Amino acid sequence: MIAIPLAAVDTTALLKVVIGALIASVGVTAIVALTVLGASRWEHARNRGDQVHAIAYGILATAGALGTVAAVVVAFVVMTAK
Amino acid sequence: MNSDLILVLVVATALVFDFTNGFHDTANVAATSISTRALAPRRAVVLAAILNFAGAFISLEVAATVAQGLVNSGAITTTTVFAGLIGAITWNLATWYFGLPSSSSHALIGGVVGAAFFAQGADAVNGQGVLDKVLIPALVSPVLAFVAAGLCVFTAYRIVGRERPGHVRRGFRVGQLLSGGLLAISHGTNDGQKTMGVIALALVAHGDISPVHFNIPPWVVVSAATAIGLGTYAGGWRIINTVGNRIHKMDVAQGFAAQGAGAAVILAASHFGFPLSTTHTTSGAVIGAGAAKRLSAVRWGVAGNIVAAWVLTLPAAACVGGLVYGFTRLFGRGALGPLVVAVVAVALIAILFARRAQVARAAPVTQT
């Protein structure tokens, strides 16, 4: 007879997985999308000769790109730290 | 002599399983990149193969779970492991034949658990381990990936929905290279190790490894990583077509969302010690990414077939594993039974591939 005590399932860890996965996936998507938005509008502003907006969107795109790289590094650290 | 021959058969069968695991699961890591044209098909598959190979070296935790956490390793014989592997290979090839993404991990676990149950009874199975490590993640991971991918698509559309399509396409294609790379490495980390775990289980049964001071020999790590890498390179194009095109037609934002959510779920689960099926996670994410855009965009019939294959995987592989074990016992406890099964299996696999190649030549929509 196989005894399966359902109460022994670690629901706290499971909840952490759910929250961690949702935050990580939506967070990284938002960062990449903001990078794309920044790059797209930077080019548009530069073509119009709008220096102020070009600088602002350039900063957004650069920060987004750095954030994306940081997310990849964190993911790799999580993988190798098991 | 007999036990040595069975061990050689087990190791060879495990590596064949690992190869089928690779080509069966190529779709998990390459289908979305191919579908959205972020990468050319062959390039996507080569990249996936290299990263899968590399990923298999990162950790041995999953291998230890398979070898120690699901069945009582003291009650396992090499013939039991062999029968379980045949059960897993049978299910992998059956689902590949019909182009269905199903979990190779569940096929492997089902096969080994079924053979162990048939051979030694319920005491050989660690019920709590199966619940914690297999059943709960099997229920949670696809639903979580579905929701996460849906939220990602919603987020992406909200932010870049009014931007020029050309910029959005280029940006998310770069994003897909990163998310696809992470997915491939995490797949190698998870799935490459499952075969290592099974070979280790056979080595324990053969007396080469102590179940107390458990360690995986380096030759097992290298051979398993190579087999899954080569399998991934071979590419299961039928399943790639199902995941990449038949569930729904993805745009780049959806492709990125599906891969990113899949990678996030796999990494979060691995970090907190829940091994899961990369197939369930990726397919759940692909369906979620489609449903978030428009429910009717998803071909629910195809999605239903995939879910049915998921549900059937554990019991079907367990039944085949049990039956194969029973068949080998007809020839006694020696190597003759596994040898006969191995010869029959090789012949059947050759016939299956020849038939598939014939069908592919007649209707060249997909490759093998």
- Mean local confidence (pLDDT), A65-80: 87
Instruction: Give me the pLDDT at residue B135, please.
Output: 83
What is the C-alpha to C-alpha distance for residues B280 and B310, in angstroms, rounded to an integer? 8
The residue among B121 and B211 whose pLDDT is bigger is: B121
Q: Residues B164-170: what's their mean pLDDT?
A: 85
Asked if the C-beta of A68 comes within 8 angstroms of chain B's C-beta atoms, the answer is yes
DSSP run (H or E) holding B206: helix B193-206
Best of A11, A15, A32 to substitute, by most chain B Cβ atoms within 10 angstroms, is: A32
Task: Name the 3-class secondary structure at B207.
Answer: coil
d(CA A81, CA B334): 43
Q: What is the pLDDT of residue A34?
A: 95
Rounded CA-CA distance B8/B78 in Å is 10
- Given a cut of 50, is residue B304 above it in pLDDT? yes
Q: To probe the interface with A, which of B143, B169, B256, B267 has the most A CB atoms within 10 Å? A: B267
Contacts of B92 by beta carbon, 8 Å cutoff, 6+ apart: B17, B20, B21, B24, B102, B104, B107
Mean pLDDT in residue range B336-351? 88
A9 pLDDT tier (thresholds 50, 70, 90) = low
**pLDDT-based confidence at B70, cuts 50/70/90?**
confident
Pairwise CA distance, residues B333 & B112, whole Å: 18
Rounded to an integer, the average pLDDT of B179-183 is 86
| Residue contact B144–A22, C-beta within 8 A | yes
Calpha distance B217→B214 (Å, rounded): 10
- Taking 80 as the threshold, does the pLDDT of residue B138 lie above it? yes
Angle between helices B278-293 and B2-35 (to 10 degrees): 20
Top-confidence range, A57-61, B120-124, B196-200, B217-221 = A57-61
Residues B278-296 have a mean pLDDT of: 87
pLDDT of residue A68: 92
Exposure b/e, A24-59, CB count within 10 A at least 16 = b: bbbbbbbbbbbbbbbbbbbbbbeeeeeeeebeebbe
Q: Does A7 touch chain B (CB under 8 A)?
A: no
- Percent of the residues in chain B that have a pLDDT greater than 90, as a whole number: 14
What confidence category does residue B66 fall into, taking pLDDT thresholds of 50, 70 and 90?
Answer: low
CA distance B38 to B32: 8
The closest CB to that of B264, out of A9, A21, A34, belongs to A21
pLDDT surpasses 50 at A4: no
pTM of the entire predicted model: 0.82
Q: What values do phi and psi take at B114, rounded to 5?
A: -60, -45
Token digits for B123? 């005491």
Banded pLDDT at A35 (limits 50, 70, 90) = very high
Q: Assess whether pLDDT exceeds 70 at residue B366.
A: no
Q: Tell me the residue type at B55.
A: G
| Predicted-complex ipTM score | 0.87
Domain residue limits, chain A: 18-80
Among residues of chain B, what percentage have pLDDT more than 70? 93
